[in-house]
Amino acid sequence: EPQVARDDIIKGTDDDAIISKLSAVNLGYLDDPFVKYFVKRPSRRPPLINRGSYLRTRSLDTFTEQFIKNDITPSSITTTTTTTSPTSATTQSASTPSPTTTATAITPAAGIKKQIVSLGCGSDTRYFKFKAKGLSAHKYFEIDFPESTAKKAVVIKKNKAFTDIIGDPDLRLGLGGTELYSKDYCLLSGDLREFTESIVPKLKAQGFDISLPTLFLSECVLIYIQPGDSDAIVNWVGTNMDASLFVVYEQINPTDAFGAMMLRNLKARQIELPGIHAYPSLKSQEERFTSRGWQAAKAVNMNKLHESLSEQELKRISSLEIFDEVEEWQLLADHYCVAWAYQAKPQQPEPRRSQ
């Protein structure tokens, strides 16, 4: 099978993700007025899938929220990544306030500029959802294949709901309509397998700054590319950025019965997950970072994240639709993980005072 055909199939995985997200939005799991613009034919997904989409979005939202709200110094990243669970800060603070959100909301961001880079963004709406709530980074970059970014750019450019949030009269399309540039939001086209040679220069041309604390998000993306290529991204970020937090969400456990079935089902749709064989476990997901010089890494499966939901939130989502498939859920959730890692270069030592 030629690579072009394989790439087309991978681009198509975004349609599935966004339809599932809309299903979760329409049922009340998630609050996101932007998703519907990316779905032509909405369809209701089974409860299992809705819960999965909800938890996936919520856990990455939580990282994003904490990254934006807290100052990212090596010590504060430690706090974020080790003592706080990725679901504990609520992203729907209006309806479900939690002590975590309240505490961080009153902590001033101290004016430290931050960047977010979404690798393989697809139709993700996080930038818009967060900025609508008053949460934004100095720069938010999104990257995907040109065919995918072209579709996204059209939707954004022609809908006031999006351009109002971007709020930049100079918002403009570029590179044959495959890119969008504005003050704080850039949609860039390219192939993540050419990260160092082609993506990094593109980012830098749009004001990406290696000295700023940066959150890298990879939601169901690295798993689709060969480990050598995803390792190159992790390596580059770990070596070149002054301070960064990297968050990965993807499938694990390919070899047990459920995992094998999951792979067979994907294969029937011609979807391959080359990354899952290199990073099949929580431990290997952590090592993908620690073995490349990152200071700390942690990976948890979705059961763990589910357990960390507050009783109130669990009650809220349980009221949305009948959910009988508890055992199936646990099996499924055992096959998805969130891994996060941080790395920060040591600060310049204070000059020694002479006696």
Of the listed pieces 8-16, 127-135, 328-336, 344-352, which binds ligand SAM according to CB under 6 A? 8-16
Shorter beta-carbon distance to ligand SAM: residue 182 or 251: 251
CB of 128 to ligand SAM, least distance (A): 13
- Provide the Cα torsion 233, 238, 242, 247; round to 10°: 70
| In the complex, least distance from residue 88 CB atom to ligand SAM, rounded to whole angstroms | 21
Report how many residues bind ligand SAM under the rule CB under 6 A: 20
Contact 270, 241 (CB under 8 A): no
Q: Which of residues 11-40 bind ligand SAM (CB under 6 A)?
A: 11, 13-14, 17
For the bound state, the minimum distance from the C-beta of residue 106 to ligand SAM, rounded and expressed in Å, comes to 31
The strand order across the sheet containing 139-144 reads 172-174, 179-181, 185-189, 139-144, 115-119, 214-219, 243-251, 336-344, 296-301
Looking at the chain, list the stretches that DSSP marks H as alpha helix, in order from N- to C-terminal side.
3-26, 47-69, 74-78, 99-105, 126-132, 146-158, 160-166, 200-205, 227-240, 257-268, 274-278, 282-290, 302-307, 311-318, 326-333
Closer to ligand SAM at the Cβ: 10 or 161? 10
Binding string, residues 201-230; x marks residues near ligand SAM by CB under 6 A: ------------------xxx--xx-----
Minimum CB distance to ligand SAM, residue 123 (Å): 6
Per-residue binding string, ligand SAM, 113-152, x by CB under 6 A, is -------xxx-x-------------------xx--x----
Gyration radius of the chain over CA positions: 20
* Complex with ligand SAM: residue 68 or 121, whichever CB lies closer: 121
Choose between 219 and 313: whose C-beta lies nearer to ligand SAM: 219
CA distances from 175 to 178, 194, 317 (A): 6, 18, 43
Nearest partner of 222 among 212, 235, 211, judged by Cα: 235
According to the binding rule CB under 6 A, does residue 277 interact with ligand SAM? no
Instruction: Sort 1 into a burial class: Cβ within 10 Å, 0-12 / 13-18 / 19+.
Output: exposed
Residue with smaller CB distance to ligand SAM, 17 or 232: 17
Binding-site ranges for ligand SAM (CB under 6 A) = 10-11, 13-14, 17, 120-122, 124, 144-145, 148, 191-193, 219-221, 224-225
